[in-house]
Amino acid sequence: MVKAVKRTVRPNVLEGHPQLSEHQSAFDNALKQFDRAAHIIKLKPDQVAMIKEPRKITEVKLPIRMDDGSIRVFTGYRVQHNVARGPAKGGVRFHPDVNLDEVKALSFWMTFKCATIGIPMGGAKGGVIVDPRQLSAGELERLSRRYFAEMIDMFGPDRDVPAPDVNTNPQIMAWFMDTYSMHFGGNYLPAVVTGKPLELGGSEGRSSATAQGMVFCVIKAAEHLRMKLNKSTVAIQGFGNAGSFAALLLSQQGCTIQAISDIDGAFVSKKGINPKEAIAYVEKHKSLKGFHRHAAVEKLADPMDLLELPVDILIPAALENQITGDNAPRIRARMIAECANGPCTPEADDILEKKKTFIIPDILCNAGGVGVSYLEWVQNRMGYYWTNEHVQQDLKLMMERAFASVLETSLQFKVPMRTAAFIVAIQRVARAAELRGLYA
């Protein structure tokens, strides 16, 4: 077991992980990633001005009547970063640590994520400052509907199409869709959101899409690095939707899942953890708390030590800014597959590049979720729905093409994969903005 490193952490319910206490601006980190790529391709000042900053930032106050009759006011955000290539696309998260800086960064990454995998959509993100675990089902529904109603003019199948994110789910998307539909005559208008239940126009394959897209990238990266997945070990930080599916799908590829974690701790076993057993445990107990008393695993004293375990593949699937200049020197994985958004800071990137750690960047690695969201949106617009096999085939093609394009760019410019992904994406967004021109 890795020796614990003393650090200060603060609790966080997002995918269940503590976050390093030193404040680092996620949006500033995103801009640094942009600047590195823009400098290499010599982006002109006018091009930078057109695509770098968010186009629209909205903050709303949401008064909600609670079950006890009192009124509580919540704060909500929606940021549209760029719509040059299509309607804004991005999730809505419910979390007590939501803040404008985070939402701006996430909307930024969404713009370039969509461009990286070649889908005709822009970037947006939303959030509400709330711990949904403290709300009743009725309070959660009223908050969800109020959020959508307050910004109803922003949303629409051709304007802005939300999706689930941290602590939101298909049921909340159903409330979003119904709220929008009721504002427009009570019609059935499913294309306004994605990630819906199958019964309301959701897509096959959506629930596992983020992790499945990551696995398609890991397979291609392993081929490039000449790694054998059936002999590879994996550690996964975060055991929410993405992390749990990542464990299941990678185990099906022959990988040994040696460590998993959530808000209630990190658990390790050199012999391997059975993903199905862990998923069943979480379904029953709502978290991994006490998992070491029901399975042959060891609980780490500090959950952050999971990141430093001697595994072949590390999968951050929790929060931003998890791998920093502080702990990057102790990262031992050969490959990092970013299922989370922004898990590595620019300072960490510099250190990991010198260590020759192969990083599959977030705007490529976890784009499977928005990829299948796009496919859901297309199906809603057509009124014709595909089988899971059809969806998986399209997702596989989408991710493999994107990975090949980014890897080729990385080798051409002799830059890390993250910078290469931004080069690919920036060129596509900048070209679209130039072709559209300025309306005056």
Give the total residue count for the chain: 440
Does residue 349 form part of some domain?
A: no
Q: Is 114 part of a structural domain of the chain?
A: yes
Here the CATH number for the domain that contains residue 144 is 3.40.50.10860
**Amino acid identity for residue 68 in this structure:** D
Q: Distance between CA 99 and CA 47 in Å, rounded? A: 28
Q: Is the dihedral of CA 375, 378, 382, 383 positive or negative?
A: positive
In a domain, residue 285? The reply is no
Tens digits of residue pLDDT in 23-71: 578 999 999 999 999 999 999 999 999 999 999 999 999 999 999 999 9
Burial of 336 (0-12, 13-18, 19+ CB in 10 A): buried
Contact 292, 299 (CB under 8 A): yes
Q: 210 among the known binding-site residues?
A: yes
Q: Domain residues for 145?
A: 49-188
Q: Is residue 418 part of a domain?
A: no
- Cβ-Cβ contacts under 8 Å for 419 (sequence gap 6 or more): 33, 36, 37, 40, 410, 413
Residue 327, SS3 per DSSP: coil
Q: Binding residue per annotation — 113? A: yes
pLDDT digits (tens), the chain, 440 positions: 333 333 333 333 334 333 433 457 899 999 999 999 999 999 999 999 999 999 999 999 999 999 999 999 999 999 999 999 999 999 999 999 999 999 999 999 999 999 999 999 999 999 999 999 999 999 999 999 999 999 999 999 999 999 999 899 999 999 999 999 999 998 999 999 999 999 999 999 999 999 999 999 999 999 999 999 999 999 999 999 999 999 999 999 999 999 999 989 999 999 999 999 999 999 999 899 999 998 899 999 999 999 999 999 999 999 889 999 999 999 999 999 999 999 999 999 999 999 999 999 999 999 999 999 999 999 999 999 999 999 999 999 999 999 999 999 999 999 999 999 999 999 999 999 999 999 87
- Interatomic CA distance for residues 263 and 286, integer angstroms: 11
Structural domains of the chain, count: 1
Q: Is residue 78 part of a domain?
A: yes
Decide if 125 is catalytic.
Answer: yes
> Does any domain span residue 61?
yes
- The position carrying tokens 């998986």 is 392
CA proximity to 104, closest of 58, 153, 159: 58
What is the spatial distance between Cα 155 and Cα 94, in angstroms, rounded to a whole number?
Answer: 18
Report how far residue 355's alpha carbon sits from residue 172's, in angstroms, rounded to the nearest whole number. 43
Check if the beta carbon of residue 327 is closer than 8 Å to that of residue 304: yes
CA 396 to chain centre: 18
3-class secondary-structure state, position 71 = strand
Nearest to 278 by CA among 339, 211, 289: 289
Closest CA to 366 of 221, 202, 217: 217
79 within a domain of the structure (yes/no): yes
Q: Where are the alpha helices (DSSP H) in 151-198?
A: 170-183
- Cα–Cα distance, 12 to 16 (Å, whole number): 6
Domain-embedded: residue 201? no
* Residue whose tokens read 């908050």: 143
Q: Name the active-site residue from 52, 104, 125, 299.
A: 125
Give the DSSP letter of residue 134: G
Q: Is 241 annotated as a binding residue?
A: yes
- Identify the DSSP state of 341: S
Closest by Cα among 267, 291, 264, 265 to 277: 291
